[in-house]
Structure 1
Amino acid sequence: MGRGLHWIDWLIIFLYATLTILLGWFYSRRQKSTEDYFVGSGEMNPLFVGVSLFATLLSTISYLSMPGEAAGKGPVTLLGLLTYPLIFFIVGYGFIPIYMRQRATSAYELLEQRLGLSIRLLGATMFLVLRLVWMMLLVYLAANAMTVMLGADYWVINTETWSVVAGQFNDADPSTMLPGLYRWEASELRIAAVPVIVIVTGIVSVTYTTLGGLRAVVMTDFMQTVLLFGGALLVLATVTWNVGGLSWIPTQWHENWDSQPLFSTDPRTRVTIVGTFLSILTWYVATSAGDQTSVQRFMATRDASTARRALMTQLWVGATVVFTLHLVGMALLAFFETNPSALPDGMGLKTDADKLFPRFVSFELPIGVSGFVVAAMFAAAMSSIDSGVNSVTAVVTTDFLDRFGRKSESEKGSLRSAKFLALTIGIIVVVGSTYMKYIPGNITAVTAKTANLFTSPIFALFFFALFVRFAHPVGVWIATICGTATAAAIAFSGPLVVFLATYADVDPQVFGVELMTQIDPGTGEELVRSAVREVNPKTGVAELVARDPVSFQWIGPISLLVNLMVGVSVSWLLPRRNPNAKSPNTEA
């Protein structure tokens, strides 16, 4: 077993990155128009498109969060697989036929046909914010996972001897911690690991996406899915070998897991079975039917039937990998429980469950196998970055530049502009990812609190446009504001309680929570005696904190319910715009 990544592991990672760039270059030579670049001319294989959809929506976030959630919280999220047949029926027969009749490069063109230009721009803008934040988050999480594998948060380079020493923030003097990319101190250059890894990951994924367009994205996503699944199977095989069989499979509720009941009247309960079902159903339907990343894949197929096959492929592959990743989490829990010496000082099975997977990959897998799984982890990041960059570029080009007459006169010029725009968006993602460290919570919670805030409001726009004939733009605007505000209030309900208690003297007990005291793990003393505070481990700053009075699981379902109720009510009260207008789901 190796201690950290061996040069053979790095060689495997390098070869994979080089292969993806070459694939992007190969497809760039076959592009003749922006249609080729954005939707692959609408004739792509539904198998590859479906796998690409899965790879896009899985990402490093899911690849890391599912094992961590299964190990540190419990396996209840697995029951979300029961929503997949319902998802297929709703999306496959309720939305895909409408989209395939329209054949639009951007899904948000449909919103203008029914509700006007302002709603189209609203949907496109929310999508841009959602996907940009999502890409920033997953790049940051991939980089954080890599620092665990390296066993280093920064490197110290002595400019006199040119020797390199790795360091970790939790072992260092606070004055040496790096807020940015680097710091000069006399003859020493300190380079933070996370920004460097972010830059490298961003360069590779943005390069092949910029060159190859959607065809390169779909084909690399297929390769990345093979790596993802293969990497998870290798971890399971290694744990099984180490423990001498399948004894790692739990036969009862583990003491490391939270209580995860069927349902709870207490909204503070982090995860329930009902909440899991509604949350996953809402997210999957909203993403598949209202997100350009998904709709663009459907448009790349021949017709509604092939698009449904792509969706079916996505769900089958997704169910298989999701189940496998949850098994990985259970296997890792058993391995580190029976081998506590394999964990470094300060790392706990529950508090650091998200780090168990990358720790095992780097320090417990055989040389070469580690490189394969690390490549899979970065494949997950790149599969989401490439899809996000391509979709964001399509929306900016179609809904803003082309819509307002900024389209290049020649097809060659339009293609060149699209590639330059993709490169610019990639740079924005890489720079913006450094700010994701300020969001508290484990990977699952952080994702729900940031990247998924606009998922339900965007879907609601399409619901109004396609199925509510009396929908009014003003009513839809008001509904979107209310739905988004509801999502944000739930996502940041804990900080909101602290704000109200601090500046408005509102008793936290009104929300059924109280401010908590954090004990310093090193000294056993309260960090701040004059106020109830905790130190944010990502910023090193003492902060007032309160438990979220509403679980993040309810962000999507409740915000969607508020959105639809307000939109229907307000639109019903407003004058009808045009009783004879055809909605996009009406046959020509």
Structure 2
Amino acid sequence: MNLAFADWAVMALYLLVVLAIALYCSRRNTSTEEYFVGGRRFRGWVIGLSLVGTSISSVTFLAYPADAFKTGWLRYLPNLALPFAIAMAAWFFLPFFRRGNLTSAYEYLEQRFGPSLRVYGATVFIIAQLVRVSMILWLLSLLIQQLVSIPPATAIVLSGLFVGLYTVVGGIDAVIWTDVLQTVVLILGGVLCLWVVVDALPGGLSQLFSEASRAGKFALAEWGEDGPRTTRWTLSLSEKTATMMLFIGLTNWLTEYASNQNTVQRYCAARSLVEARRALWVYLFTALPLWAFYMLLGTGLWVFFQHFPDPLSQEVLAGTARAETIVPWFITEYLPVGIAGLVVAAALAAAMSSLDSSINAVATVSVVDLYRRHWRPNREDRHYLAVARGAAALTMVLMIVGALWLNGATTRTLQDTSTILVSLLGGGMLGLYLLGFFTRTGNTFSAWCGLICTLLFTGWTLLSEQAWWPAALRAPFDLYYTGLIGNVLMFLVGYAVAHLSGRLLASRYG
């Protein structure tokens, strides 16, 4: 697949603008307060668009259209729980993080449950983010390889160095403003793709909707050999019903807005509580339509290739080619010169907006929660600023190394690594925060009891996936619900232990 000179020029211009933003923002980075939270002066609309950019990765740009192209809109269903999660975050979670000029999500854990829980939360976040950024960079390299004939290792190193460079130099100011730019480019790129699809169809947009509707392509259900299966709205732990998918979505979104440093750091960067709440609503009313739009793009590509079939589209539908290749193929083969370059820039933006946020967040947590709190307290601020830049640079290096390792690993190894490290170590974090937000009970001991029970539970479910594990000891539910059950377990155990220990102390000393 080859791009024209005009496409390369568009991409080069976009990358130069990103670097210019980083260099401009670097002039302000004279303190950790600026480097981590931008002086706490951002308006809500800026933070909101930045949140959109952070949450949108290669998954949105490639996987959403791929799913809608090959099946229906089931992937979109968990997103419908987002409004409730945003309302919870705006009115219940935000005040806890806006008190006392917090910088990290895990400072709250120390205030509520003690320093050991803060160290645990920070460590888990760093590990999970290193896995995440390595995977995103690896996926980005796959996209680059489909567009440009360069070796995989070269694609990983060059893209990783570029993102790391502007993040290390620019701090959170560069991250937020480049995320805003990347969100705009991502929206524009998707609009141009859909415009080309609709323009090629004789009946335009109405033809897209009518043909896709007849084929069941908008169904919020699993896809069978003959089309969408019946959508079930029952409560069940043994199958993926629509109701349970909404619960899964709610769990994921509450975790994102209650305990994810990428999000909490933006709460803290807003100039006021009102602006932070405004940011959440901007995010909601931008992200939900954007995700639906990219699902619609995938549906539109299905209609397009029904009328203009080619070998790759048939292979994707037959299952002999990866569905994620359909968007890059359409970009390089069907988009006009110049537009293709802008859409490729949008694809790069989708990945970079996630990578830069995570790099800066890892640096922030490493310095605020670990280095400054436990290893080197009471040093000058310029010392911590230098360490923060070093931590961001180290994160960039580890991200590149991780992506290179993933490039040489099998798909199964990739799945196992992400599942074990993220699901096992990160299990129960939402339940821990909810215990702190919504109850007055709980202390270090009860919180650790809940976490240990959750870790044991998650470990058991992971073992249940192994072929050698005894059938009698396997989990009697769909393992898709491990996170949901684990968070409930964390909350209930923590709450019960706190009450039980409180009664024992009362009876002993009362």
TM category (shorter chain) comes to 0.7 to 0.9
Q: Which of 13, 19, 22 is the matching residue for 2:11?
A: 13
Distance 1:498 1:139, change over 3 A: same
Q: Aligned pair in 2 of structure 1 residues 20, 349: CA closer, same or farther (>3 Å)?
A: farther
Task: Please list the CA deviations of residues 431-472 of structure 1 after superposition, one character each: whole Å capped at 9, or x if unmatched.
Answer: 11234465758x999988875665552222222233332213
Q: Say whether residues 1:562 and 2:483 are aligned partners.
A: no
For 1:71 and 1:555, locate their aligned partners in 2 and report how far apart those are by CA, in whole Å: 28
| Structure 1 counterpart SS, 2:356 | helix
Please say if 1:26 is aligned against 2:24: yes
Mapping of 1:287-298 within 5 angstroms? 287-298=256-267
Structure-2 change in CA distance of 1:449 and 1:355 (3 Å)? farther
Report the counterpart of residue 571 of structure 1 in structure 2. Answer: 498
Offset at residue 409 of structure 1 (A): 3.4
2:219 maps to 1:248: no
**Distance between the aligned counterparts of 1:331 and 1:52, measured in 2?**
28
Match of 1:364 in 2: 334
Q: Which residue of the partner structure matches residue 164 of structure 2?
A: 206
CA distance in structure 2 between the aligned counterparts of 1:230 and 1:448, rounded to whole angstroms:
34
For 2:374 and 2:395, locate their aligned partners in 1 and report how far apart those are by CA, in whole Å: 20
Pick which of 400-409 and 116-125 moved more: 400-409
Residue 306 of structure 1 corresponds to 275
Shift of 1:47: 0.7
Q: 1:234 is matched with which residue: 181, 184, 192? A: 192
Q: Does 1:106 align with 2:104?
A: yes
Match of 1:419 in 2: 389
Q: What letter corresponds to residue 178 of structure 2 in structure 1?
A: T
1:283 aligns with 2:245: no
What CA distance in whole angstroms lies between the structure 2 residues aligned with 1:420 and 1:323?
39
What TM-score do the two structures reach when normalised by structure 2?
A: 0.88
Q: Tell me the amino acid that sits aligned with residue 205 of structure 1.
A: V
Q: Does residue 323 of the first structure (1) align with residue 281 of the second (2)?
A: no
Partner of 1:175: none
Q: How does 1:31-46 map to 2 (within 5 A)?
A: 31-46=29-44
Q: Distance in 1 between the 2:505 and 2:121 partners? A: 22
Measure the CA separation in 2 of the matches of 1:578 and 1:210.
50
Q: Deviations over 1:481-522 (max 9, x none)?
A: 3334544655x577x24232xxx5x489x779xxxxxxxxxx
Structure 1 residue 258 displacement after superposition: 4.9
Q: CA deviation at 1:268?
A: 5.7
Provide the identity percentage. Answer: 28
- Equivalent residue letter for 1:195: A
Please report how far the alpha carbon of residue 298 of structure 1 lies from its aligned counterpart in structure 2 after TM superposition: 0.6
Give the corresponding residue for 1:434. Answer: 404
Hey, what's the Cα distance between the residues in 1 that align with 2:109 and 2:503?
Answer: 17
Deviations 1:47-70 (A, max 9, x none): 111110111011122222211222
Structure 2 equivalent of residue 464 of structure 1? 435
SS of the aligned residue for 1:317 comes to helix
Q: Are residues 1:353 and 2:313 paired?
A: no
Q: Per-residue deviation at 1:216?
A: 0.6
User: What is the match of residue 550 of structure 1?
Assistant: 478
- Identify if the C-alpha distance between structure 1 residues 260 and 216 changes in structure 2 by more than 3 Å, giving closer, same or farther: farther
What are structure 2's unaligned runs of at least 5 residues? 218-224
CA contact 1:470–1:576 (8 Å) conserved in 2 = no
| Alpha-carbon separation, structure 1, partners of 2:416 and 2:61 | 14
Look up the equivalent residue of 1:276 and give its one-letter code. M
**Superposed displacement of residue 201, structure 1:** 1.5
Cα offset, 1:206, TM superposition: 0.8
Provide the C-alpha distance between the structure 2 equivalents of 1:348 and 1:248, rounded to a whole number of angstroms: 18
Q: Contact 1:72 / 1:256 at 8 angstroms: preserved in 2?
A: no
Contact 1:38–1:394 (8 Å) recurs in 2 = yes
Question: In structure 2, what is the Cα distance between the partners aligned to 1:299 and 1:511?
Answer: 40
Find the counterpart in structure 2 of residue 165 from structure 1. none
* 1:568 CA displacement: 1.9
Give the Å deviation of 1:81: 4.3
How far, CA to CA, are the matches of 2:179 and 2:26 in structure 1?
16
**Amino acid aligned to 2:444:** P
Partner of 1:528: none
1:340 partner SS: coil
Q: Distance in 1 between matches of 2:232 and 2:489?
A: 24
What is the CA distance between 1:408 and its match in structure 2? Answer: 7.5
CA distance in 2: counterparts of 1:377 and 1:550, whole angstroms: 33
Q: Which residue of 2 aligns with 1:482?
A: 453
The Cα of 1:256 is off from its aligned counterpart by 7.0
Distance 1:238 1:4 in 2: 19
Matched, 1:409 2:379: yes
Relative to its length, the structure with more helix (as a share) is 2
1:196 aligns with 2:166: no
Q: How far has the Cα of 1:345 moved from its partner?
A: 8.1
Aligned to 1:102, what secondary structure does the other structure show?
coil
Distance 1:295 1:42 in 2: 12
Q: Provide the C-alpha distance between the structure 1 equivalents of 2:230 and 2:359, rounded to a whole number of angstroms.
A: 37
When residues 406 and 132 of structure 1 are mapped into structure 2, their CA distance, relative to the original with a 3 A threshold, is same
Deviation at 1:205, TM superposition (A): 1.0
Give the Cα–Cα distance (whole angstroms) in 2 for the partners of residues 265 and 58 of structure 1: 30
Which of 175, 179, 185 is equivalent to 1:221? 179
Taking only aligned residues, the RMSD between alpha carbons, in angstroms, comes to: 3.0
Alpha-carbon distance change, 453 to 260 in structure 1, aligned in 2, over 3 angstroms: farther
Distance 1:429 1:215 in 2: 21
Give the Cα separation in 2 of the matches to 1:485 and 1:367. 55
After TM superposition, list the pairs within 5 Å mapping 1:335-350 onto structure 2.
335-343=304-312, 346-348=315-317, 350=319
User: Following the alignment from structure 2 to structure 1, what is the Cα–Cα distance between the partners of residues 263 and 313?
Assistant: 41
| Conserved? CA contact 2:112–2:443, under 8 Å | no
SS at match of 1:403: helix
CA distance in 1, matches of 2:429, 2:352: 24
Q: Secondary structure at the match of 2:310?
A: helix
SS of 2:99's equivalent in the other structure is helix
Does residue 381 (structure 1) correspond to residue 351 (structure 2)? The answer is: yes
- Look up the SS of the partner of 2:442 in the other structure: coil
